[in-house]
């Protein structure tokens, strides 16, 4: 089990009442929202879990936490801890080795 701590920014939506937008500076590809502050926070945690799992599955580096460069007066900044249980059972190289071994045996 691995633990990751990331900073998130939750900002009230200027156009919609009771809506909040979330950004994660370390993962610019994450953009989520919620109809309440609590839902926005939950959505941020969910998005972080999915992106981290995707990075791990694809063998990509997990970026370090990053603080927001600019904070709006209405925004709240907090840290979220994400727990990931991840186990890699095989890599693409394992499949290639297995395929090569099988094809050389059948010749």
Q: Which tens digit of pLDDT belongs to each residue from 69-105? A: 889 899 999 999 999 886 656 566 555 555 554 544 5
Question: Who's near 82: CB < 8 A, 6+ residues apart?
Answer: 3, 4, 5, 6, 45, 48, 49, 52
Closest to 37 measured CA to CA, from 82, 84, 74 = 74
**pTM to 2 decimals?**
0.75
The CA-based angle 52-55-58, given to 5 degrees, is 150
The answer to whether domain 2-105 has CATH 3.40.1190.20 is no
Domain regions of the chain by residue span: 2-105
């Amino acid at each position: 089990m691995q633990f990751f701590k990331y900073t998130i920014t939750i900002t009230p939506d200027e156009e919609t009442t009771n809506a909040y937008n979330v950004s994660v500076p370390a993962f610019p590809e994450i953009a989520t929202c919620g109809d309440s502050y609590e839902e926005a926070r939950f959505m941020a945690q969910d998005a972080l879990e999915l992106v981290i799992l995707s990075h791990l599955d694809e063998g990509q580096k997990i970026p370090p936490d990053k603080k927001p460069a600019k904070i709006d007066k209405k925004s709240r900044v907090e840290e979220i801890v994400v727990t990931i249980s991840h186990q890699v059972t095989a890599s693409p190289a394992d499949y290639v080795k297995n395929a090569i071994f099988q094809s050389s045996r059948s010749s």
